[in-house]
Amino acid sequence: MADGTDGAAALAAAKQRVRAERLALRDALPAETRAAAAAALVAHADGLGVVPGSVVSAFLPIRSEIDLRPLMAHLRAVHGVTLGLPIIMPTGGLFFRAHDEADDLVPLGFGTYGPGPDKPVVVPELILAPLSAFDRAGGRIGYGKGHYDQTIARLRREGFSPRVFGVAFACQEVDRVPAESHDVPLHGILTEQGLIRTGEGAQGEGA
């Protein structure tokens, strides 16, 4: 038991080191680099294999996250998708509410905003997930709460099979993410430099 406990603690510490290093690099990016990166995501969007009229979950940037709003507008205009944004329900768990660009957003706590309770909960066929670090095998480090891993596991138990792509700046890549058994591997990662398709990727070509 001690060995197992020590191993889990060492893995958690390794994840935290990688998270802190990559977030520091992300935080240091200048404003003009961020704006250019947000625009560049659109040029690589076709590789995501978005199905016209499908449901795609995205996220609004907090802190120094990459800005998906240009990509979201592109997916609406070109593919006619329904977009969902993440919310934490009062009963617990991460869900997605439908969002249109004309909708007002409401405060959700911790400095975040999202669709209000009048908007329906949707189930995404494609999840665009935030992250703090990634590798080319599809490893992902989030922010330490496990919200996306738990949500994807729940959706799969309910019979859904969403594809999951991380979206981040290229500087957030590492050689290898320290992975735990519950970590959900990504189908790919979209950065301003292109689409990286992992072993989980089911269609299209990587960039």
Answer whether residue 201 shows pLDDT above 70: no
| 25: in domain | yes
| 204: in domain | no
Single pTM value for the model? 0.91
- Say if residue 148 carries a ligand binding annotation: yes
| 203: in domain | no
- Say if residue 79 carries a ligand binding annotation: no
List all residues 6 or more positions away from 165 whose beta carbon is below 8 Å from its beta carbon: 48, 126, 127, 128, 129, 186, 187, 188, 189, 190
DSSP character for 185? Answer: P
Identify the pLDDT of residue 180: 75
- Say if residue 113 carries a ligand binding annotation: no
- Say if residue 19 carries a ligand binding annotation: yes
pLDDT digits (tens, 9 = 90+) for 183-200: 889 999 999 999 999 976
- Say if residue 17 carries a ligand binding annotation: yes
Tally the domains of the chain.
Answer: 1
- Say if residue 60 carries a ligand binding annotation: yes
| 19: in domain | yes
| 206: in domain | no
Question: What whole-number percentage of the chain has pLDDT above 90?
Answer: 75
**Once rounded to an integer, what is the mean pLDDT over residues 50-76?**
97
d(CA 167, CA 189): 6
| 60: in domain | yes
Residue 155's domain spans which residues? 2-197
Answer whether residue 155 shows pLDDT above 80: yes
pLDDT bucket at 179, cuts 50 / 70 / 90: confident
d(CA 88, CA 188): 25
Answer whether residue 98 shows pLDDT above 80: yes
CATH assignment at residue 145: 3.40.50.10420
- Say if residue 140 carries a ligand binding annotation: yes
pLDDT digits (tens, 9 = 90+) for 33-42: 999 999 999 9
Identify the pLDDT of residue 103: 85
| 90: in domain | yes
| 111: in domain | yes
